[in-house]
């Protein structure tokens, strides 16, 4: 008969194992960074699309001309 090593999980009630698993936040910072980076990329894409429009370009050009003429 072979003795199998017992793990710490075998002696704990199921609820406490589940609770420990829910409290484990390893990797959450990486996931948060990924979400922030995706949001920043999406915002940059919208900004590029807005800046390429003719109306915005002419508005910015007039704004710069007005500022330089002062």
Report the pLDDT averaged over residues 5-17. Answer: 59
Pull the structure tokens for residue 18.
Answer: 């589940």
pLDDT tier at 70, thresholds 50, 70, 90 = confident
Q: Compute the half-sphere exposure of residue 33: CA atoms within 13 Å on the CB side of its CA.
A: 4
Q: What is the pLDDT of residue 22?
A: 64
Tell me what percent of the residues of the chain surpass a pLDDT of 90: 40
User: Secondary structure of the chain in the HEC alphabet?
Assistant: CCCCCCCHHHHCCHHHHHHHHHHCCCCHHHHHHHHHHHHHHHHHHHHHHHHCCHHHHHHHHHHHHHHHHC
pLDDT tens, position by position, 12-35 = 566 676 666 666 667 778 889 999
């Amino acid at each position: 008969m072979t003795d199998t090593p017992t793990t710490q999980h075998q002696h704990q009630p199921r609820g406490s194992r589940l609770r420990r698993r829910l409290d484990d936040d390893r990797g959450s910072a990486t996931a948060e960074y990924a979400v922030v980076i995706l949001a920043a990329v999406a915002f940059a894409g919208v900004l590029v699309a807005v800046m390429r429009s003719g109306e915005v370009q002419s508005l910015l050009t007039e704004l710069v001309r007005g500022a330089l003429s002062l």
